[in-house]
Amino acid sequence: MVGAQELAPTATELSLADWWIRVRKRISKESRKMFDTFIALVTWSIWLERNNRTFNRQARSTLQLQRHIQEQASEWTRARFTAMAPFATHNQQAGIQVQRQDGQQRHQQQQQGAQVNIGGEIVYL
């Protein structure tokens, strides 16, 4: 589950890349492709939203952006990029294997894919 306390950014991480590298090491190898793809989709969607607000003076609500990300995940899945299937609109549950500090594996389930903080709101994808 993205958004778990073990995956939260720390005060020493100054960039998204720093956080991504640290968290990626804590996720099981089987889940890394899904995690990497999810991060790429979310950051790309936020970037496009930023451009739309800046250049077109149009803004989606947080819920609209969440739905857009889910729709994109569905499109990627229909194009046979199966790593996005857990985040697609048709999928109601997803999970990521998280490596805890004590070395134990833990599978976490969450409704609607992943939890993301966008603009101070917790959004479930």
Specify which residues 118 forms β-bridges with. Answer: 121
- Distances, alpha carbon 101 to alpha carbons 6, 27, 69, in Å: 9, 11, 31
What's the whole-model pTM score?
A: 0.62
Q: Are 65 and 45 in contact (CB under 8 A)?
A: yes
Residue-wise pLDDT for 61-100, tens only, equals 999 999 999 888 888 888 777 777 766 665 544 444 444 4
What type of residue sits at position 13?
Answer: E
Flag whether pLDDT at 107 surpasses 50. no
Q: Are 53 and 59 in contact (CB under 8 A)?
A: yes
Q: Are 8 and 116 in contact (CB under 8 A)?
A: no
Q: Is 80 left (phi over 0), alpha (psi -120 to 50) or beta?
A: left
Rounded percentage of the chain residues whose pLDDT exceeds 70: 61
Where does the chain have alpha helices with state H? 16-26, 29-56, 62-78
